Chain A
Amino acid sequence: MSLAQASAILPERGGLRGSLSDTLWRKPTVLLVLLLTPPVLWLGIVYLGSLFALLLQSFFSIDEFSGLINREFTFKTYGELLRPSNIDIIVRTVSMAAMVTLAAAVVAFPIAYFAARYARGKWKALFYLGVMLPLWSSYLVKVYAWKLILAKEGILTWLFAKLHLTWLIDAWLSLPIVGGNSLSVSFTGTFIVFLYVWLPFMILPVQAALERVPQNLVEASSDLGATPAQTFRNVLFPLALPGIVAGSIFTFSLTLGDYIIPQIVGTSHLFIGQAVYAHQGTAGNIPLAAAFTVVPIVVMGFYLWGAKRMGAFDAL
């Protein structure tokens, strides 16, 4: 290889491409603006614009006689939102979301812990897919599957009959609140389906958080004489907590806004999602529907704020 004879600075390449490339190097901000403009325009106009329009409408009111929307700024609709029947809906939905979240954390933890700590190689991939596939399978099909399972003539009744445990279902269904005519029209049914549908959203972040716990921490704890229960309470659980909180963002938010599951498997008592759907649809009361949507937004706002303070976003 001989010493280069070429000039140290090569000539400009010319043409549109050459000068454009040079410009983007000289002014990186131009490139940034070019990259950001389309997505920001889209999300800003289509999404935020709609969201803003929706919030705005929650300050309008509906004329009870004509059914027309009165476009004057008022808090009247929010007053309506605070009626006892609506408060019931909100309390019902938020408690359901809380219970689903809690149950999801309990069920998810062993799976996540096993996958993070004991599964290796092929098993690890299998576990991962084992969570990913149900996560991404069709939401409606999942709900449908539970309609099949919980139906009176379905597999669950059959199974309990085979085990001579039919009395157990009957006893449970005769309980107030959680009971009902059959599992598919009870809060118990709604709860199970919610748990099933959102469970993978809890497993993944918990697993991610647990994977970041160094193995030797667990060993150090047992080395120092902690029983497994103590190790769990003092070492694993605090370290997994950000993952659990991250997962709970999904389970909580998704439960708050869902209107299909309680409609298909559940009682006639409404959830927030159903109320929103009913008010904007048949009732045509868009202002009240809009005001209703503010509830999950506010709840999630506080939730996210708390989660952020706990460092849960790192586990997402």
Chain B
Amino acid sequence: MRSDRQSAPLGLKIAAAAGLAFLHLPLLLIFVYAFTTEERSYQWPPPGLTLQWFAVTWNRPDVWQALTLSIKVAAISTVIAMILGTLCAAAVSRTRFFGRETISLLVILPIALPGIITGIALRSAFNLADIPFSTWTIILGHATFCVVVVYNNAVARFRRVSGSLVEASMDLGADGFQTFRHVILPNIGTALVAGGMLAFALSFDEVIVTTFTAGQQQTLPIWMLEELVRPRQRPVTNVVAMVVVLVTLLPILAAYYLTRDGDQIAGSGK
């Protein structure tokens, strides 16, 4: 492989580096703004740096409430999505049955179609069925589009756990439950955890569907959206934005490390 040692043409290097910089610099900017002393505008460069906004944010009950609701919703949605996604992946990868493609399509549809469609569809269904908005209406929506990330991760791993491993286990005297416990679970475990983390990150961050299913409740993204539309406390928003970046990065990094050997995180699953 002679070409492996060849280095890339300069133009390509520059274009790739510029592309990556375009992706990352705006996020880094968030970190600077969290420390700015400027309160009323988005002035650059910051006239001064301060830590005071962290304390201010810390003492804001509305931020805490929104954060708590977001975590609660994300946690429950993740659990539901993990169960449904794993079941679906197991069924699809186990056998070639009639309608297999349809099942895949059904799982992917909630993210393949624009979020606004999912959102308005759920909202009008709640209206028709006279279901009042609650935490559960948010969860219903989130779990629906989170299924696909768990599913994508699990399907990729199930494919690697070849059918003969299950047969080998049964051949050696393990019944269905023992096979699940001793062979299937250990082999798909990390993929499931990774899928769960991505689902958590996805739910924690979701805003489009949530605006339709939350009613008067505020998740953290909804709180931020209101600040974006009608900025009132810019410094607090800056701090929250930074915290959100950090909080979502952790599960992504963890998911990456759990799945890096072999299959990749199903990034297209978002």
| Residues of chain A whose beta carbon lies under 8 Å from any beta carbon of chain B | 10, 13, 17-18, 20-22, 24-25, 28, 31-32, 35-36, 38-40, 42-44, 46-51, 53-54, 57, 107-108, 110-111, 113-115, 117-118, 120, 125, 127-149, 151, 153-155, 157-158, 196, 199-201, 203-205, 215, 218-219, 228, 246, 249-250, 253-254, 256-260, 263-264, 273, 276-277, 280, 286, 289-290, 293, 296-297, 300, 304, 316
Contact = CB atoms under 8 A, between A and B. Distances in A.
B94 A276 contact: no
B265 A120 contact: no
A205 B23 CA distance: 17
A47 B30 contact: no
Secondary structure of the A side of the interface? helix
Given A36-B87, A114-B15, A134-B27, 15 more contacts: A10-B173, A32-B94, A39-B88, A39-B147, A47-B110, A54-B120, A54-B121, A110-B19, A131-B267, A135-B267, A141-B224, A145-B241, A218-B3, A258-B208, A293-B120
Given A145-B29, A199-B23, A254 B114 contact: yes
A257 B24 contact: no
B122 A50 contact: yes
B22 A219 contact: no
Contacts of A133: 24, 27, 249, 252-253
A46 B147 CA distance: 13
Contacts of A205: 268
A130 B125 CA distance: 39
B183 interface: no
B84 interface: yes
A256 B114 CA distance: 7
A136 B249 CA distance: 8
B188 interface: no
Given A32-B91, A201-B268, A254-B114, A137 B176 contact: no
Contacts of B114: 253-254, 256-258, 273, 296, 300
Nearest to A111: B19
B44 to A, nearest CB: 4
B120 A151 contact: no
Nearest to A205: B268
A54 B125 CA distance: 7
A108 B201 contact: no
| 10 A-B pairs with the lowest CB-CB distances in the bound complex, closest first | A257-B114, A110-B15, A50-B125, A114-B16, A50-B121, A35-B91, A145-B26, A21-B175, A151-B42, A155-B44
B124 A280 contact: yes
B165 interface: no
Contacts of A277: 116, 211
Interface of B: 1, 3-4, 7-9, 12-13, 15-16, 19-20, 22-24, 26-27, 29-30, 33, 41-45, 80, 83-85, 87-88, 90-91, 94-95, 97, 103, 106-107, 109-110, 112-118, 120-125, 127-128, 140, 143-144, 147, 170, 173, 175-177, 198, 201-202, 205, 207-208, 211-212, 221, 224-225, 228-229, 237, 241, 244-245, 248-249, 252-253, 256, 260, 264-265, 267-268, 270
Contact of B24 (A117, A130, A290): A130
A214 B40 CA distance: 55
A51 B85 CA distance: 20
A198 to B, nearest CB: 11
A46 B255 CA distance: 28
B113 A253 contact: yes
Contacts of A146: 26
24 contacts: A39-B85, A40-B106, A43-B84, A44-B106, A51-B121, A54-B124, A107-B19, A111-B19, A120-B4, A127-B20, A129-B253, A133-B249, A137-B249, A140-B241, A147-B42, A196-B23, A219-B3, A258-B208, A276-B120, A280-B120, A280-B123, A289-B120, A293-B120, A300-B112
